């Protein structure tokens, strides 16, 4: 057999294998033994498993060899889902791995609504789920069509997200937040009660690090309880005002 003939036979075999492989999922989808009998949902906290299943579109008539992209796209249209990944576990199990959206604040307009950093309202009932989040007060018309429409409130939610990403401990101290009258964002701390912190909109990591250093210095000098205001809106400067007596 010549080398040329060997290469032609090899190419023919590979073509046949590729054809079988391409047709295999279609053939397997017609087999009842590969119908979905079990769905595992992982990564959810706020999204109920039955709601995730309903949103995915997977039913008893689905097959593990169905195209998973349609299930994934459907899940990612839900406001609580950032991303989803679908895995098969033959012969009849589908595993859904969900990355959920975390609420960044409770916007009061006038009822409390959990929102993402981008202002999208999340379908989570604060009366049923314990959400220890900063409260942002807004006008009733600030939230419409499932989103925060007020640009000033969006500045606040984005700023809170920047604080949580860079200084999560500081974020955990915040009781509420609002646009500052003279620019930037004003947050109130849980302790010392009523202490005000001013930061620029969308502060960078350096600004927040300098703010944290200033707070740490106050604690080291045992002046933290006297904190009245701390302003980090100035370039490379943090301005601190202390009260004459410690806050109670």
Q: Which of 43, 71, 101 is the last residue of a domain?
A: 101
157 and 64, same structural domain? no
Q: pLDDT at position 12, please?
A: 53
| pLDDT bucket at 129, cuts 50 / 70 / 90 | confident
pLDDT at 71 over 60: yes
Does the pLDDT value for residue 103 go beyond 80? yes
User: What is the value of pTM for the model shown?
Assistant: 0.79
Give the confidence band of 25 by pLDDT, cuts at 50, 70, 90: low
Q: Which CATH number goes with the domain that contains 43? A: 3.10.20.310
Residue 1 lies in a domain: no
- Residues 129 and 191 reside in one and the same domain: yes
Place 14 in a pLDDT band, splitting at 50, 70 and 90.
very low
User: What's the domain range around 165?
Assistant: 105-242
Domain's final residue, options 101, 118, 140: 101
Q: Do residue 217 and residue 97 come from a single domain?
A: no
Distance in angstroms (rounded) separating the CA atoms of residues 76 and 93: 20
Q: Is residue 127 pLDDT above 70, yes or no? A: yes
Residue of 99 and 194 predicted with greater confidence: 99
pLDDT at 5: 58
Residues 52 and 88 in one domain: yes
Last residue of a domain, one of 81, 101, 121: 101
85 and 125 in a single domain? The answer is no
For range 77-99, the mean pLDDT? 93
Could you report how far apart the first and last alpha carbons of the chain are, in Å? 95
Give yes or no: residues 46 and 109 share one domain: no
| CB contact set of 225 (below 8 Å; sequence gap of 6+) | 192, 246, 247
Region 181-207 average pLDDT:
94
Residue 45 contacts by C-beta under 8 Å, 6 or more apart in sequence? Answer: 100
Query: What's the structural domain count of the chain?
Result: 2
Checking if the pLDDT of 8 tops 70, the result is no
* 161 is a domain residue: yes
Based on the fold, state whether residues 113 and 227 are members of the same structural domain: yes
* 138-168 pLDDT per residue, tens: 998 889 888 999 999 999 999 999 999 999 9
Buried b (16+ CB within 10 A) or exposed e, 27-58: ebeeeeebbbeebebebbebbeeeebbebbeb
- Could you read off the pLDDT of 29-58 as tens digits, one per residue? 555 567 899 999 999 999 999 999 999 999
Written as six digits, the tokens of 246 are 């410690």
Indicate which CATH number applies to the domain containing 164: 3.40.50
Q: Is there a single domain that holds both residue 115 and residue 237? A: yes
Mean pLDDT of all residues belonging to the chain: 87
Q: Answer yes or no: do 198 and 143 share one domain.
A: yes
Q: 176, 108 in Cβ contact below 8 A? A: no
Mean pLDDT over 124-132 rounds to 88
Instruction: Give 186-191 contacts, CB < 8 A, sequence gap 24+.
Output: 187/134, 187/160, 187/163, 189/227, 191/247
Comparison of pLDDT for 24 and 57, the residue scoring more: 57
Q: What is the pLDDT of residue 18?
A: 43
Say yes or no: 86 and 133 in one domain: no
Q: Are residues 167 and 199 both part of a single domain?
A: yes
Percent of the chain residues past pLDDT 70, beyond the cut? 85
CA distances from 158 to 54, 155, 163 (A): 31, 5, 9
232 and 238 in contact (C-beta within 8 Å)? yes
Is it the case that residue 19 has pLDDT exceeding 50?
no
Is residue 153 one of the residues assigned to a domain? yes
């Amino acid at each position: 057999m010549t080398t040329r003939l060997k290469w032609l036979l090899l190419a023919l075999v590979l073509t046949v294998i590729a054809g079988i492989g391409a047709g295999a999922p279609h053939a397997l989808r017609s087999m009842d033994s590969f119908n979905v009998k079990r769905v595992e949902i992982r990564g959810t906290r706020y999204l109920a498993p039955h709601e995730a299943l309903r949103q995915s579109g997977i039913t008893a008539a689905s097959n593990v060899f169905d195209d998973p992209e349609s299930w994934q796209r459907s899940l990612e249209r839900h406001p609580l889902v950032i991303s989803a990944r679908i895995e098969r576990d033959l012969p009849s199990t589908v595993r859904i791995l969900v990355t959920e959206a975390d609420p960044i604040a409770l916007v009061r307009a006038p009822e409390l609504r959990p929102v993402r950093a981008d202002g999208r309202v999340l379908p989570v009932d604060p009366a049923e789920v314990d959400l220890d989040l900063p409260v942002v007060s807004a006008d009733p018309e600030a939230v419409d069509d499932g989103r925060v429409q007020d640009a000033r409130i969006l500045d606040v939610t984005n700023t809170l997200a920047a604080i949580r990403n860079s200084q999560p401990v500081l974020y955990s101290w915040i009781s509420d937040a609002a646009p500052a009258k003279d620019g930037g964002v004003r947050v109130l701390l849980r302790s010392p009660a009523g202490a005000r912190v001013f930061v620029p909109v969308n502060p960078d990591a350096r600004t927040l690090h300098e703010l944290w250093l200033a707070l740490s210095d106050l604690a080291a000098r045992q002046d933290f309880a006297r904190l009245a205001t701390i302003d980090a809106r100035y370039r490379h400067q943090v301005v601190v005002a202390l009260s004459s007596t410690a806050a109670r």
